[in-house]
Amino acid sequence: MEAAAEYRFTDRDVRENPDLADTAFQFAYNYGGDFDFLVHAHTYALEHGRLHTAMARGVLNCMRSDLQGLALLHRLIPVSNIPPMPHRVRILHAVEKQRPAYIDLPSEWHYDYIMSLNKMAQVVHILDRQRSHVRWYPHMGTFEFDLYICKPIFRGQRYQMVYEVPEGRRLCPQCQKRTYDNLLRARRSYRLQC
């Protein structure tokens, strides 16, 4: 079974063995995961009722990293008939299904303010250092800032962190009110402690 997982299919394999093409089609047609290539192959299979050779080859190679796909390949091709894998080919492994969607990493922020890079923007927001953090998405291997201010920051919006309010800009009224409210709460709690 391991040899089947290590072998990379070629277009010639698909053209010479109609059973491989049928297996790739059935796998793509019934695919319900979220891997982009296989989702595209699934859509193609639904729309056209077949897969072209290169797509069938790609689906067969993706099946090697899927447990159900690997079982289908193992039933279809005896392991002894599969040629040995060249050493330069990377082995694909099944993905851990229990991994988290994201991980919030402990973060320390050195900036006090955040502002939009839009030329029309005139306000600067106070960065909530307690709630803001770096978020890691292990299934994509990417990091993103998860920043908190008085309103949501939209993905794709360009912004810059700054130490102080730049000339020509002013503090956001909502942030200013929140700062004032926090100051009043701090004074009240100090009075209660005395």
Asked whether residue 66 falls in the same domain as residue 9, the answer is yes
Alpha helices in the chain, H assignment, sequence order: 2-6, 11-16, 18-29, 36-48, 53-63, 67-76, 173-193
Asked whether residue 8 falls in the same domain as residue 76, the answer is yes
Asked whether residue 110 falls in the same domain as residue 37, the answer is no
Report the chain's terminal Cα–Cα distance, integer Å: 74
Condensed to tens digits (0 to 9), the pLDDT of residues 125-182 reads 888 878 888 888 777 777 787 777 877 665 556 778 888 888 888 888 888 787 767 7
Q: Provide the token pair at 165.
A: 């309010």
Q: Provide the token pair at 28.
A: 């793509």
Q: What total number of domains does the chain contain?
A: 2
User: What is the span of the domain harbouring residue 133?
Assistant: 106-193
Q: Provide the token pair at 33.
A: 């995961």
Asked whether residue 56 falls in the same domain as residue 125, the answer is no
- Structural domain contains residue 70: yes
pLDDT for 104 equals 83
